[in-house]
Amino acid sequence: MIRNHKEYEKAVKTLKKWAYYYYVLDNPLVTDEEYDKLYKEVEKYEKAHPDEIDPTSPTQRVGDVVLDEFKKARHITKMWSMEDVFSKEEFNDWHNRVKRLIGDKKYSYYIEPKFDGASLNIVYKDGKLIRAETRGDGEIGEDVTLNAKTIKTIPLEIDYKELIEIRGEVLISKKDFEKLNEERIKKGEPTFANPRNAAAGSLRQLDPKITASRPLLFYPWGVGYPVEVLNSDEVSEEQYRADKEKFINRFKTYKAMMDFVYSLGFKEPPKRGECDSKDLECVYKKYNEFVEIRDDIPVMLDGMVVKVNELNLLEDLGYTTKYPRWMVAFKFPAVEKETIVKDVVIQVGRTGVLTPVAILEPVEIGGVIVERATLHNFDEIERLDIRIGDHVIVIRSGDVIPKITKVLYHKRKGDEKPIPRPTHCPVCEAEVLDEGAIIKCQNLACPARAVNTIIYFASKNCLDIEGLGESVAKLLYEKGLVKDVTDLFKLTVEDLEKLPGFARKKAENLINAIKKVKGVECWRFVNALGIEHIGEVASKKICETFGVEFYKHDPEEFYKIEGFGPEMVKSIAEYVKVNKDQIEKLIELIQPKNPEKKEVENSPFLGKKIVLTGAMSKPREEIKELLENLGAYVTNSVSKKTDYLIVGEEPGSKLEKAKKLGVAILPEEEMWKMIGESNAN
């Protein structure tokens, strides 16, 4: 509570700093809840002491300053902020004010979601998109037309020839937000604190190509011109009045107006509705419905918006210096909070990846007590300089694992402890493979990754052990029969018969399938080891070059293999260092065969990089093996280095990509002709 003018001045200064970081820099210093709390306190003091109001207080302005890098653009009609309410009591107060102003006239409410994104004003004239502007200070925004045109949910042309401003929110889905941050972590770039900041940051890029590379969405929520208050001499007062009267008479309600907007080709929100103004229970029911579905909606919502539905009443209700009196945002409970990092523990995943997890001072977020949050990886910890004892902001949304989005460095006391990078696995104590963003335990016998190792070892493109899927692998491990892959070869029919669901026939089939592994091709054995970055194609190259005893070769020799770079070579070296004894033991048990040296002559595919797509006349694996015997390298993805894309019936997206990259397209029948001609020679 603010008690005097000195405290008020301090609060305004703090609020201005927070607003600057949030709106201008897209880099919030505090949670929305903390900002809203101080904002309300400042607003309360100003109402009680109107003579002391600081004209630069954030409560006295609609938005914030425009960034200098963008050309400024004046909105035809003013873009307002919205009053926020956080409880039934506050909503009732707003409702009663509206009711007093309208009097005895009958009216209803239009209800829609309040998206948590970046506001955008789009101007159409003669059916063409001519301008797009950020909110800015409500009167003048930033011209982001080129960026807006890259957003696929914004039509470049609409079936409406009159001048119109369509307003809405630029968003990024929660799923795409996660992907974007993962990509930025890999590149060593700072992550976005939340989807709202990601959307705002993406919209305000000087290079439209960057905006185009990000999957932004646009959801309209209103119309500026000719409904709102004229702000520009771009249109005369007479023309504005005529257009406004015509527009309001045509649509009559906000609901009908928005139905029209969505009919023009804009994306419609997942839920909208109407309620009679006399039925507040209808409003509360809609609010509860939004709260229930907010986590299932792919984009971030932070409340619902209630607007007077009748367009002819909006001008009568009018505006304060900041808000329209005819609409209000009924905000949801906060989903992000401030807390303290008490400790950090390391979890080892099924693939051996080490993930740091923060142990937090328990905090309630959206009705759930949060005590842990993912820290992504150790590169991210170092980039953000997260320390034990730090004050941090934690966000939680639906089933998404709680995450730390920001460190509040200004709250440090000096006794916070750095978080060291691990050098050994916390479960098996083996030395780890450190690749920067990824730190991984390579030990095949590590209990934390044992089950996944067994599943992969037995999979189709590895040793192809029929009957040894995920459920059986888990059962064998849980019952103590198999602790690592070498134990598979010690199993007996009698061991398996003791397990639930294993009759003698099933047990015999699995034992026979394991025995068939003996003498498997070298590449299958190498692929089955699960070496990071070494898949089927790389395994074949290793076996063709070094054979089964690849692990005895100096790591530097692997650079001689086409396509092998530092990451692959380092991974092989680290794997062999940890698992050499295990590899030799498995070779003794499996006795994999080295590939036969085939002299390939007159092959049109010798040394060529090939990708297959579509349905072929023969099984894909058979064609793949044939091409490899002819000296080709068959891979799964098209790139600039691909020599041929061989196309069967009903090809997929690889065909379009190949065309864009200028890769040679080869129909399957042409492939057979080329093979036949080379054999004839």
Tell me which residues are annotated as active site. 114
| Beta carbons within 10 angstroms of residue 649's beta carbon | 10
d(CA 4, CA 45): 9
Q: Residue type at 97? A: R
User: Tokens in use for 179?
Assistant: 């992907």
Q: What are phi and psi of 172, to 5 degrees?
A: -130, 140
Which DSSP category does 279 fall into?
Answer: -
Q: Which residues lie below 8 Å from residue 103, measured CB to CB, with a gap of 6+?
A: none
**CA-derived radius of gyration, the chain:** 32
Where does 562-662 have alpha helices with state H? 566-590, 620-629, 653-661
Answer yes or no: are the C-beta atoms of 468 and 479 closer than 8 Å.
Answer: no
Which DSSP category does 68 fall into?
Answer: T
d(CA 173, CA 496): 48
Which DSSP category does 21 fall into?
Answer: I
Q: Measured on CA atoms in the order 411, 416, 422, 424, is the torsion positive or negative?
A: negative
Q: Residue type at 241? A: R
Answer yes or no: are the C-beta atoms of 269 and 112 closer than 8 Å.
Answer: yes
| Beta carbons within 10 angstroms of residue 592's beta carbon | 22
As a whole number of Å, the end-to-end CA separation of the chain is 93
Residue (of 632, 623, 630, 634) closest to 602 by Cα position: 630
Answer yes or no: are the C-beta atoms of 349 and 86 closer than 8 Å.
Answer: no
The answer to whether the peptide bond before residue 362 is cis (omega within 30 degrees of 0) is: no
d(CA 14, CA 442): 50
Answer yes or no: are the C-beta atoms of 166 and 124 closer than 8 Å.
Answer: yes
DSSP-based helix, strand, coil % in the chain, nearest 5 = 40, 20, 40
Long-range contacts of 22-26 (CB under 8 A, 24+ apart): 23/63, 23/64, 24/64, 24/65, 24/67, 26/192, 26/197, 26/200, 26/201, 26/204
